[in-house]
Amino acid sequence: MQVNQDDFLPLPALPDPHQLVTYDPAWTYPSACAGGGGMALLRVWRMADGGHLAIVTESGVAVSITNAAEEISAALTVRYPGPLVILEHYPAGDGAPHDRLDQVLAVPGSTPRWRPIWPTSPVNPDYTTNRAWMDAYGTTLLSATTR
């Protein structure tokens, strides 16, 4: 599947948001940044179309998930071939009173891009879609702690 820099995949339907494919609370990833890498909570689910949804949660250990977006995307693309939606998750407390969820798109040879998923302002054109997805899946996914 060829992905262009402007092609964010839609937020996926999940057959069972309670059934994780991968749960790794100490997943390590490489980074070209000075720290050389970092550690995050990685949770992956199978999407209804057979692809995967990965939520990478910032842990505050070494290089941030945002600064390593290209390397994280490359590592996950190899491990989970096919359609892949990657969401960056920053838990409440890093300057915001709420969790933040952003979709990341890192196409080789291009600068990564982010699309806010939650929270978003009601004036955001994606607000209704994102709100419905968060109500159907998001809260369950962000609270998933085991397989």
Q: Return the amino acid letter for 36.
A: G
SS3 84: strand
The pLDDT value recorded for residue 4 is 47
Tens of pLDDT, residue by residue over 37-71, are 899 999 999 999 889 999 999 988 888 999 999 99
Bridge partner list, 29:
38
Nearest one of 58, 66, 64 to 42, comparing CA atoms: 58
Nearest one of 52, 50, 47, 51 to 13, comparing CA atoms: 47
Tens of pLDDT, residue by residue over 83-128, are 999 999 999 886 678 889 999 998 877 889 999 999 999 999 999 9
Q: Return the amino acid letter for 12.
A: P
Residue 5 has pLDDT above 60, yes or no: no
Q: Which of 1-5, 19-23, 88-92 is the least confident region?
A: 1-5
